[in-house]
Amino acid sequence: MPTMDASSEDFATVYALSALAWILAEDSRAQRLIALTGLTPDDLRLRLSNPAVLAAVLGFLEAHEPDLIACAAATGVTPADLVAARRSLEG
């Protein structure tokens, strides 16, 4: 993924959705996301366009630096881009 302005809400949404796809690709990460955020699979499906839900996904990554770094590498952005995206989504 090319570097974009993570402070833009549109790009922040793209980063968050990419991060969510990365999280959900591994069952143990997906289960940890659900356990730690309180989001249910239905919440994710129904509220996927909600900036607060997307910010929570990125916050989940921030809380565990190895996942933040791995996700950034896998999605072609920097960890700082993901942090900036979370801040943008939080308003």
What is the pLDDT tens value at each position of the chain, 91 positions in all?
A: 444 555 576 889 999 999 999 999 999 999 999 999 898 899 899 999 999 999 999 999 999 999 999 999 999 999 999 999 999 999 8
Q: The pTM is what?
A: 0.87
For residue 91, what pLDDT is reported? 87
**Residue 10, pLDDT score:** 84
Domain boundaries, the chain: 13-90
**Secondary structure in 3-state letters for 43-91:** HHHHCCCCHHHHHHHHHHHHCCHHHHHHHHHHHCCCHHHHHHHHHHHHC
Structure tokens belonging to residue 84: 């900036």
